[in-house]
Amino acid sequence: IGMYRQLRDDPSQPVASDPYGDVFLIIDGWPGFVGEFPDLEGQVQDLAAQGLAFGVHVIISTPRWTELKSRVRDYLGT
């Protein structure tokens, strides 16, 4: 990531025009994820809360909005 950010800061590099964040975390099926990896729930919530400042975007799918704790819902758009 450090090298990527250096290249983005150099206007002569093609990657400098990359409009996207550094990393995308995509979780397809939040209830299944939490059921299989309960210890990671808090870490994903922290990423949703603070990750954007570091170029980390969190994308979560869930069948029901209410399956997400209010703490994480506050940081996600629909």
| 15 and 4 Cβ atoms separated by less than 8 Å | yes
Residue with tokens 């397809």: 28
Residue 27 clears pLDDT 90, i.e. is over it: yes
Q: Is 71 helix (H, G, I), strand (E, B) or coil?
A: helix
The pLDDT score that the predictor gives to residue 73 is 83
The pLDDT score that the predictor gives to residue 78 is 62
Q: How far apart are CA 9 and CA 40, in angstroms?
A: 33
Residue 68 clears pLDDT 80, i.e. is over it: yes
The pLDDT score that the predictor gives to residue 32 is 96
Q: What is the pTM of this model?
A: 0.70
- Residue ranges of domains in the chain: 21-74
Q: How far apart are CA 23 and CA 36, in angstroms?
A: 23
Q: How far apart are CA 7 and CA 16, in angstroms?
A: 6
Q: Is 29 helix (H, G, I), strand (E, B) or coil?
A: coil
Mean pLDDT of 35-41: 96
Mean pLDDT of 1-16: 85
